[in-house]
């Protein structure tokens, strides 16, 4: 469980739906972006800034972000640890009764 992940400018994705966060510089990823645009599955969350990361979801949506992939993955890990610590706290409360 990852919860909601901030991908910049107040935009969030559901962490459990994300398959990959990739650097957009390669030609195959540029083609993937073009195909998603043709299919109506491209979401541009860059607010006109340079695309620094492409987020690929399990529904084949492609989300463009102006945030570095490393930053987004760090947010994923932080959210994961936050959710896990909250669940652990709940487990302790339930099992201590």
DSSP per position, 15-30: GGGEEEEE-TTSHHHH
Residue 96: predicted pLDDT: 85
Residue 51: predicted pLDDT: 97
**Predicted confidence pLDDT, tens digits, the chain (97 residues):** 778 999 999 999 999 999 999 999 999 999 999 999 999 999 999 999 999 999 999 999 999 999 999 999 999 999 889 989 999 999 999 988 7
Report the DSSP beta bridge partners of residue 4.
Answer: 14
Residue 22: predicted pLDDT: 96
Angstrom distance (rounded) from CA 30 to CA 39: 14
Residue 1: predicted pLDDT: 72
Residue 49's region, left for phi above 0, alpha for psi from -120 to 50, else beta, is: beta
Residue identified by tokens 């107040």 is 10
């Amino acid at each position: 469980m990852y919860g909601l992940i901030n991908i910049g400018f107040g935009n969030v994705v559901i962490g459990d739906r994300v398959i990959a966060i990739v650097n957009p510089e390669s030609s195959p990823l540029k083609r993937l972006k073009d195909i998603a645009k043709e299919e109506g599955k491209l979401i541009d969350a860059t607010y006109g800034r340079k695309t620094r990361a492409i987020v690929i979801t399990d529904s084949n949506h492609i989300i463009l972000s102006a945030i570095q992939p490393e930053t987004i993955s760090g947010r994923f890990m932080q959210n994961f640890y936050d959710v896990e610590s909250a669940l652990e706290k709940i487990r302790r409360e339930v099992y201590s009764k």
